[in-house]
Amino acid sequence: MTMLLTDFKNEYRDRLLEILWRQWATLGVSGYGETWRGSVIDPEALLIFSCTILRYDARLFDAVLEWLRVNGRFVNVQRIKRMLKTESFGGEAVVSALAAAIKNSVHEVKWARLAGEKVVEENKSEPLFFLKDGRPIPVMRQEDLLFLKYGFSRAPFKERGVALRFRSELPANLFLRLRAMFGVNARCEIIAYLLLADRGSPRAMARDCYYFPATVSKALAEMSQSGYLMSQTEGRYRYYKLVSDQWRDLLIGNAALRPWVVWARLFSALEQVWLFLNRTDLAEKSAMVQSSALRRLLKDPVISQLNRSGLSFMFGDDSAHSGEELLPFFIERMKVLMDKIENG
């Protein structure tokens, strides 16, 4: 049973990397052919998640850094900060280091707010990248001094010309398309939410779009005066909806997009599962001890996050599987989940 979890760790890592490659390729990273077929991509949630998982793929990590230098003006730093504060992510230090590498470019001073001025004590750094077997990738000669300042040891970053402007012809890039048209602000996520979820309350939109409630309420009140948005009160709540399906025709066309997904919540759950599977002591634990630790992880908060992600997926009743029986049930359900994420 222990070997079953150990084997699944490698499969799970590879599935996560597959998702990241496909989403970043759809956004404009070259070198990977298959585009994303799932729900609309959330670039902020994708970036945060990448800062943990791409420590096992240095090639894509550097391609993402390069992409951000080309397209960073369309990324919402305030949403990144809100997601980091709201959800459980383990890669915040890497996010700061990445932001510091971007802020040096001409048009991305805004990234300085995310990078901060972190300075790590000498000889306190850790490897940034790892091989598939978990061993750190050694730095043979010179280290990248900027990443070293943030506590990560790696070879100097070199651009390879693999990042293009985001692909505006692809409906999955709806967030970036709206921002290019209307600017980087809450109204873009509000429009995307109403296109994919049909209608919503200010509270739900603020929560699932990662904005302060006052920001969303003010934007909706002003947008309603345009005549393109209508609202209706039901009980204690007011709901908003786009007036005409012509908005969908204009912004999405005939594309068969998946319903609204709260990617930050979903990625946070996936990351916590990965960090659990990647524990160095996991293989030394008995199947019963593994099951007990896994059950605590699922109960608080992985299953809750998955259920609130908007993905049409139900994990199932883990309490119906006692002791070691939880492990094969967990692996089977995670495989189904990964299929659902990729294929809808």
Domain-located, residue 67: yes
pLDDT (average), residues 39-49: 97
pLDDT band of 107, cuts 50, 70, 90: low
Q: Average per-residue pLDDT in the chain?
A: 91
Among 41-55, 148-162, 206-220, 245-259, which is the least confidently predicted range? 245-259
By mean pLDDT, which of 94-103, 111-120, 149-158, 304-313 is the weakest?
111-120
Q: Distance (Å, rounded) from C-alpha 159 to C-alpha 65? A: 9
Q: Is residue 124 domain-resident?
A: yes
Whole-angstrom distance, CA of residue 273 vs CA of residue 267: 10
What pLDDT is stored for residue 3 in this prediction?
Answer: 54
Same domain, 194 and 218: yes
Last residue of a domain, one of 198, 221, 251: 251
Q: Which of 153, 174, 199 is the last residue of a domain?
A: 153
Shared domain check, 144 and 45: yes
For residue 210, give the CATH number of its domain: 1.10.10.10
Alpha-carbon distances, residue 114 vs 65, 100, 169 (angstroms): 15, 8, 30
Run of H or E including 231: strand 229-234
Mean local confidence (pLDDT), 24-53: 92
- Residue 194 makes CB contacts below 8 A (sequence gap 6+) with 200, 229, 240, 241, 242
The verdict on 53 and 116 lying in the same domain is yes
- Count of beta carbons in the 10 Å neighbourhood of residue 343: 9
Residue 47 lies in a domain: yes
Residues 71 and 146 in one domain: yes
Q: Is residue 310 part of a domain?
A: yes
**Cα–Cα dist 199/196, whole Å:** 8
Q: Check whether residue 219 and residue 332 sit in a common domain.
A: no
Q: What is the pLDDT of residue 1?
A: 46
Instruction: From 251, 274, 306, give the residue that closes a domain.
Output: 251
Q: What is the pLDDT of residues 328-338, one digit of tens each?
A: 999 999 999 99
109 and 145 inside one domain: yes
Does one domain contain both 267 and 234? Answer: no
List pLDDT tens digits, range 57-106. Answer: 999 999 999 999 999 999 999 999 999 999 999 999 999 999 999 886 65
**What secondary structure letter does DSSP report for 98?**
H
Could you give the 3-state DSSP secondary structure of residue 78? helix
Mean pLDDT for 139-165 is 93
Number of domains in the chain: 3
pLDDT at 235: 87
Q: Kindly state whether residues 199 and 136 are assigned to the same domain.
A: no
Residues 113 and 214 in one domain: no
Note whether 246 and 269 are same-domain residues: no
Give a yes or no: residue 229 inside a domain: yes
Q: Domain containing 305: what range?
A: 263-343
112 lies in some domain? yes
Res. 307: pLDDT tops 50: yes
* Residue range 263-300, pLDDT digits in tens: 999 999 999 999 999 998 888 888 899 999 999 999 98
* DSSP designation for 317: -
Residue 168 in any domain: the answer is no
Q: 26 and 147, same structural domain?
A: yes
Residue 278 and residue 16 in contact, taking contact as beta carbons nearer than 8 Å: no
262 backbone dihedrals φ, ψ, rounded to 5°: -85, 90
In a domain, 165, yes or no: no
243 and 299 belong to one structural domain: no
